[in-house]
Amino acid sequence: MLKPILCLPVLLLAGAPALYQQAQPAPQTPQKSASPSPAQPAPIPAEYVNMTNPVKPTAESLARAKQIYSWDCALCHADNGSGKGDVAVEQKLALVDFRDPAALKPWTDGQLFYIIRNGRGKMPAEDGRAKENEVWNLIIYLRSMSKGHEGAATPAT
């Protein structure tokens, strides 16, 4: 009788997605506010505050972060992080200057992760375009912009 043997892979296949989903954190739904306005973006869920950046940057991972930044972020935030990208100027978006060390200070890495993934106000969500570890590297890259070496992040050794 072949039947029981044939059933096994089917069961495994059927079970796998469920197991995978259990391992994932619950999807975050931004809190609804009574009067949503772009000037007051939804608050960042508290569980993001203490998340630590899990990646150890390498020259390659930071080069990749720089590439993602130039494709997905520079149109608004500008290649050098000044916040004066073409779209930002055109739409008169008031963006912080990533070269200013004070600019990203109010945010923890976890909060930045949330902002980049989910968007904020007029900023679109990066969502699934960059992988999780790419977003964490992107944050290291952003923070490196204020170190005075424009566009050149130094990997931790």
| Residues near ligand HEC (CB under 6 A) | 41, 72-73, 75-77, 87, 93, 95-96, 112, 115-116, 120-124, 126, 138, 142
- Which of 102, 132, 105, 101 lies closest to 116 in space, CA to CA? 132
Q: Of the two residues 124 and 151, which places its CB atom closer to ligand HEC in the complex?
A: 124
Structure tokens at 71: 């494709």
Q: Which residue is nearest to ligand HEC (CB)?
A: 121
Q: How far is the CB of 18 from ligand HEC (least distance, A)?
A: 32
Q: How far is the CB of 47 from ligand HEC (least distance, A)?
A: 18
Distance, CA of 105 to CA of 59 (rounded, Å) = 24
Q: How far is the CB of 71 from ligand HEC (least distance, A)?
A: 8
- The DSSP call for residue 121 is T
The secondary structure of 68-92 as a DSSP string is HIIIIIHHHH-TTSSS--HHHHHTT
Q: How far is the CB of 10 from ligand HEC (least distance, A)?
A: 40
Distance, CA of 48 to CA of 114 (rounded, Å) = 7
Q: Of the two residues 7 and 105, which places its CB atom closer to ligand HEC in the complex?
A: 105
Q: Of the two residues 84 and 122, which places its CB atom closer to ligand HEC in the complex?
A: 122
* Beta carbons of 113 and 54 less than 8 angstroms apart: no
Q: Of the two residues 63 and 87, which places its CB atom closer to ligand HEC in the complex?
A: 87
